[in-house]
C-alpha cells in the first residue's frame, strides 16, 4: 500500500511539473520513477527492472555501440577502437538476459550488487531522458508568432537530410500560421562554405516563403548560442515554437528555458533508427556533462546505499 502511494505521489508531482513547464528532465524522471515504484509493488522487482530499466537502455546502447564498431572497422580497417565498440556493444546486449539471473542468484554478492546498482542508475537516466523527450514532443498547445528552426551541418555545401527535415517541418507549420515569422538559426562551421542560416533562407525562398517573413541568425556555433543569438528576434509576448530533430529536442528546450525563451517544441522525426539512437546517446552525454556534478552526486548516493 505504501509503495502504491509513493508511486502515485511521484506521478502526480510529475504531472504538476509537466503542467507548469514540461521543458525539464524532471518531466520524465518523476513519472518514470512513479511507474517503476508502482510496478515493484505489483510484480517482482527483478521483472519490473528487466522490463522497464534494463531492456530498453541496453537495447539502444548495445545496438549503437555494435553498429559504430562495425562502421569503424568497415571504413578504417582494423583498429582497437573499432573492436572495442563492436565487442563492447555485443557484450552489453548479452548482459540483458543475464540480469534477472544475477539478481536472483547473486544479488547479495557485493561486486554484483554494485554493478547492478550502477547500471540501474545509468539506465534510469536514459529511460527518464527518453520519456522527457516524448513528453516534450506532445502536440502544440499554442498558435505561434515566431517559428525558430535550428540549423544542422551542411552537406557538400548544401542542405542535408537532417536539416531538410527540420526546414520542411517548420515550413509546414508556417503554412498553418502564415502570419508567424520564421527565424533561421545557424552559423558557419569550419567545413561549411556559408552560414547554415543562409542555406536555410535560400531553401525557404525556393519554397515560396516571402522575404519579409524570414529572419536570419548567422552567429551561433552550437545549440546554446542558437538560443542566445535568436533571442534578439523574439519579443516578450511572442509565442515561440522551436523546430528541431527528435533526438535534439529536449536539450534544445532545456537551453531555451535557461535562456528565458518561452517556447514549445515541434519534433521532426529522423528516419534512420541507428543514426537516431547514436545521436540520442550523444545528446544524453552532452546533458550529463552539463549536469556532471549533480549526476555524479546521485551516483555516489546510489553506491553508498548499496554499501549500507
Q: What is the pLDDT of residue 178?
A: 93
Buried (b) or exposed (e) across 143-168, using 16+ Cβ within 10 A? ebbbbbbbbbebeeeebeebbbbbbe
Residue 9 corresponds to which cell in the numbers above? 505521489
Q: What is the pLDDT of residue 76?
A: 72
Q: What is the pLDDT of residue 8?
A: 87
Q: What is the pLDDT of residue 172?
A: 95
pLDDT band at 47 (very low <50, low <70, confident <90, very high): low
Contact criterion met (CB below 8 Å) for 11 and 35:
yes
Q: What is the pLDDT of residue 202?
A: 94
Q: How far apart are CA 40 and CA 38, in angstroms?
A: 6
62 burial type by CB count under 10 A (0-12 exposed, 13-18 middle, 19+ buried): buried
Q: How far apart are CA 93 and CA 63, in angstroms?
A: 8
Among 101-115, 247-261, 277-291, top mean pLDDT goes to: 247-261
* pLDDT over threshold 90, residue 255: yes
Q: How far apart are CA 92 and CA 142, in angstroms?
A: 42
Contact criterion met (CB below 8 Å) for 185 and 149:
yes
What tens digit of pLDDT does each residue of 104-142 get?
A: 677 677 777 787 777 778 878 888 888 899 999 999 999
Q: How far apart are CA 171 and CA 187, in angstroms?
A: 20
What tens digit of pLDDT does each residue of 201-224 get?
A: 999 999 999 999 999 999 998 899
pLDDT band at 276 (very low <50, low <70, confident <90, very high): confident
Contact criterion met (CB below 8 Å) for 246 and 270:
yes
Q: Mean per-residue pLDDT for 76-94? A: 75
The model's pTM is: 0.81
Amino acid at each position: 500500500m505504501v509503495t502504491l502511494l509513493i508511486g502515485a505521489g511521484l506521478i502526480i508531482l510529475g504531472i504538476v511539473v509537466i503542467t507548469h513547464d514540461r521543458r525539464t528532465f524532471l518531466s520524465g524522471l518523476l513519472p518514470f520513477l512513479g511507474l517503476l515504484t508502482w510496478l515493484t509493488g505489483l510484480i517482482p522487482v527483478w521483472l519490473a527492472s528487466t522490463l522497464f530499466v534494463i531492456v530498453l537502455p541496453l537495447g539502444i546502447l548495445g545496438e549503437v555501440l555494435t553498429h559504430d564498431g562495425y562502421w569503424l572497422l568497415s571504413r578504417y580497417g582494423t583498429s582497437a577502437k573499432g573492436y572495442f565498440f563492436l565487442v563492447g556493444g555485443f557484450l552489453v546486449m548479452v548482459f540483458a538476459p543475464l540480469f534477472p539471473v544475477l539478481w536472483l542468484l547473486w544479488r547479495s554478492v557485493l561486486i554484483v550488487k554494485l554493478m547492478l546498482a550502477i547500471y540501474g542508475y545509468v539506465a534510469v537516466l536514459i529511460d527518464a531522458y527518453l520519456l522527457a523527450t516524448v513528453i516534450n514532443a506532445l502536440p502544440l498547445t499554442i498558435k505561434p508568432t515566431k517559428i525558430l528552426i535550428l540549423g544542422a551541418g551542411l552537406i557538400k555545401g548544401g542542405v542535408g537530410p537532417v536539416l531538410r527535415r527540420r526546414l520542411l517541418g517548420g515550413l509546414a507549420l508556417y503554412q498553418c500560421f502564415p502570419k508567424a515569422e520564421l527565424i533561421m538559426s545557424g552559423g558557419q562551421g569550419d567545413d561549411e562554405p556559408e552560414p547554415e542560416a543562409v542555406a536555410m533562407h535560400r531553401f525557404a525562398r525556393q519554397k515560396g516563403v516571402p522575404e519579409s517573413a524570414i529572419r536570419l541568425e548567422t552567429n551561433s556555433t552550437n545549440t546554446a548560442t542558437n538560443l542566445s543569438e535568436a533571442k534578439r528576434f523574439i519579443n516578450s509576448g511572442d509565442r515561440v515554437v522551436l523546430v528541431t530533430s527528435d533526438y535534439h529536442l529536449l536539450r534544445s528546450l532545456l537551453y531555451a528555458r535557461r535562456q528565458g525563451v518561452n517556447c514549445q517544441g515541434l519534433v521532426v522525426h529522423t528516419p534512420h533508427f541507428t543514426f537516431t539512437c547514436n545521436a540520442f546517446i550523444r545528446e544524453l552525454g552532452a546533458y550529463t556533462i552539463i549536469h556532471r556534478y549533480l549526476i555524479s552526486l546521485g551516483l555516489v548516493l546510489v553506491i553508498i546505499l548499496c554499501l549500507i
